[in-house]
Structure 1
Amino acid sequence: MDWDEVRPKAQATLGEPLGTLSVAELEARIAALHQEIERVSVELAKKKAHEAAASALFKS
């Protein structure tokens, strides 16, 4: 990561009060969270595969 690179602000904060959000905002939030779940799931699968490959290598 480049120190000059600025991380984008999170779109949704966990635990944030939802009462002030509109229906459209809540739907957008759900869509964004589904996308984030998919992104994290893909990364998790990659890491598990890498871990399994390393484990198999050292079991030999």
Structure 2
Amino acid sequence: MSIFEDDAEKKPVAHEIGSDLSLISVDELDDRIAILRQEIARLEEEKSSKQKSKNDAESLFR
């Protein structure tokens, strides 16, 4: 086992905010858009969950 194997196994980043898009194909752009939409949905779901918890706690102390 080489000490350099860990570097070779790293997966490429799905999308990096602000990266150069000029060399990316339309299909890859579609893939990145889908990944970002899934992440947005995940963030919104977590936000809703936290907002509900916050609202429940606030109503308890009124």
Q: Runs of 5+ in structure 1 lacking a partner? A: 1-7
Q: 1:26 aligns with which of 22, 26, 29?
A: 29
- What is the TM-score normalised by the length of structure 2? 0.76
Identity of counterpart residues, as a percentage?
Answer: 37
Amino acid at match of 2:35: A
RMSD: 1.6
Aligned-partner SS, 1:49: helix
Give the greater-gyration-radius structure (CA).
2
User: By how many angstroms is 1:10 displaced?
Assistant: 4.3
Whole-angstrom CA distance in 1 between matches of 2:20 and 2:61? 48
Q: Does 1:52 align with 2:38?
A: no
Residue 12 (structure 1) aligns with: 15
Aligned length: 52
Structure 2 unaligned residues grouped into runs of 5+: 1-10
Task: Provide the rounded CA distance (Å) in 2 between the counterparts of 1:21 and 1:49.
Answer: 40
Large movers: runs of 4+ above 3 Å? none
Q: Deviations over 1:1-30 (max 9, x none)?
A: xxxxxxx86421111111111111100000
